[in-house]
Amino acid sequence: MQNSFNLVGSQSIAPAPAAAIYGDKSVFFKCGFVSYQDTLFDSKGRHYFKDCYIGGEVDFIYGSGQSYYEVIYLTPTTKSDNILMIY
């Protein structure tokens, strides 16, 4: 899933998630999520992600969901000197 809003070169930058998850017990296998800012909104519930690709530039994953991420590929969408920080 890709959100092309806010791609490099856009006039303004604003949150634009590629996906928003509100349910409970959702499962994602071998999926891809790409956006510039706020790529995956894991709003609430319990979810499982395996073998997924998540690309973005700012706040890749955010929300209050209680999710388990197994073998996930987090990649910046541009070739910059940004530092990937995981909390």
pTM for the model: 0.76
- Reported confidence tier of residue 10, pLDDT bands at 50, 70, 90: low
Instruction: Answer whether 20's CB lies under 8 Å from 1's CB.
Output: no
Quick one: what percent of the chain has pLDDT higher than 90?
40
Average pLDDT over residues 16-33: 91
Burial of 4: CB neighbours in 10 Å, binned 0-12, 13-18, 19+:
exposed
Catalytic residue among 24, 42, 51, 59: 59
Distance CA 23, CA 12 (A): 31
Instruction: Answer whether 47's CB lies under 8 Å from 27's CB.
Output: yes
Catalytic residue among 38, 42, 51, 81: 38
Instruction: Answer whether 23's CB lies under 8 Å from 2's CB.
Output: no
Active site residue 38: yes
Active site residue 59: yes
| pLDDT above 80 for 41 | yes
Could you identify the residue written with the tokens 């990649």? 75
Lowest mean pLDDT, pick from 15-19, 24-28, 48-52:
15-19
- Could you read off the pLDDT of 47-73 as tens digits, one per residue? 999 999 998 877 788 899 999 999 888
